Amino acid sequence: MASESGLYWCETAWLGSALATPHVLVQVEAGAITGVLSGVECPAKATRLAGLTLPGLANAHSHAFHRALRGRTQVGNGSFWTWREQMYGLCERLDPDSYFRLARAVYGEMAMAGITCVGEFHYLHHGAGGTPYADPNAMSAALVAAAEEAGLRITLLDACYLHGGIGQVLNAQQRRFSDGDALAWAVRASEAVEALSGPAVRVGAAIHSVRAVDPAGIEVVAEWAERHDAPLHAHVSEQPAENDRCIEVYGVTPTALLAERGVLRRQFTAVHATHLAGADIGLYGAAGSTICLCPTTERDLADGIGPAWALRDAGAHLALGTDSNAIVDMFEEARAVELDQRLASQVRGLHDSVSLLRAATVQGHASLGWPEAGRIEVGAPADLVSVRMDTVRTAGASAHTLLETAVFAAGAADVHHVVAGGRVVVSDGRHCSIDVAAELGAVIGELVEGFS
């Protein structure tokens, strides 16, 4: 479904400056923005978008299946490592059919939250015991089909996963993640590029972590990404134990190891980067890499607070992700970057609303290989996310505080209209083709029956 006239009139819109612009008319044709005019009255044929309209939000780091753990990992003490065991248990219950159903509902939830592009960090590749499906990319295909039905663009970040830890063999659950060696991963990833790429689909690469991929394998993945001009992501320094083991075995930090093996570049995104040395921060800045922060997951798993301000000031770019999908709310991810830094530094205002919106839009899209997206301008994909400014959370904002109100007070529930690639995906706060709540309830109920 699309606007019949191809015209959208925004009560106010963020066009990239420090203030929202009133009365913006956006013209759309063939899924792209072909005109942007400000200060005009609403034409009779235009779709009227109340409140504040933003570019589509980019969720730069997702593990869709983790959504089924929401509310089930909050009892008792523990850590990232105990949570991981519960996550492994869930993996055993998924196959291509159930993963499609779950991911479609999860991506529907993302669309309702204003997300128009998702980076799916995908490592659940194979069947029980690591046996490949008849189509070795069946799980990848399920994710791509789910995104299409939910109305999102997707960057499938195909993850290489070879070891159970540095110097450790894979355990029974981890065998589903592994292709055996990096060259076999590269063959399957290349097949995914050929089979799955399309106008709304791009395939990138991921090094799961230095825990799961040895230095020689890291080089193979990095070379594959460079050869395919593809984005490259990796989990980096999420936990101190990862740093300690990397230094013990390789004599350098995870970031330094990645740098030595040719990973750090502008198309590289380090996910989390929570526990960094000062030299690590400088390496990311010099390379112009992106850091994808996932604050709601990082606090949920007791990971810690990363040096976002220092990374940005060193020259790194920031993006945002919902990661474990314990919460799907990019406004919460954005403000958490600043609010968590306030707790750590006892200083306010290190990240303003514009820089946080850029992390949620243009910088997130760039990290996923869509540098043309995340802007309301001619030539960009027609991604428009309209946020109500008359709810109990947002009412009272002035023309000069719309952006701050959106970032620091609004939530996913305030999104009322979403256009993705010219297609109306959400209208009046409801997904246009999926009963998201019902589908989430049904598929998660089946997956977690008897699960502890």
- Catalytic residues, which ones? 272, 323
Contact in structure between 28 and 10 (CB atoms under 8 Å): no
Q: Could you identify the residue written with the tokens 């994710």? A: 143
Nearest-angstrom CA–CA distance, 247 and 279: 14
> What tokens does 74 get?
């909050």
Q: In Å, how far are 29, 193, 251, 279, 375 from 256, measured between CA atoms?
A: 46, 29, 9, 8, 34
How far apart, in Å, do the first and last CA atoms of the chain sit?
41
Contact in structure between 275 and 304 (CB atoms under 8 Å): yes
Helix (H), strand (E), coil (C) string for 397-438? CCCCCHHHHHHHCCCHHHEEEEEECCEEEEECCEECCCCHHH
Alpha helices in 291-377 (DSSP H): 295-300, 308-314, 330-345, 353-360, 362-367
- Neighbour-count burial of 278, counting CB atoms closer than 10 A to its CB (0-12 exposed, 13-18 middle, 19+ buried): exposed
DSSP of 188-238, one letter per residue?
HHHHHHHHH-BTTEEEEEEE--TTTS-HHHHHHHHHHHHHTT--EEEEESS
Alpha helices in 19-159 (DSSP H): 80-91, 96-112, 138-150
Nearest-angstrom CA–CA distance, 235 and 270: 6
Q: Are strands 423-427 and 415-420 parallel, antiparallel or unpaired?
A: antiparallel
Please, what is the angle between helix 96-112 and helix 436-447, to 10°? Answer: 140
Helix (H), strand (E), coil (C) string for 278-293? HHHHHHHHHHCCEEEE
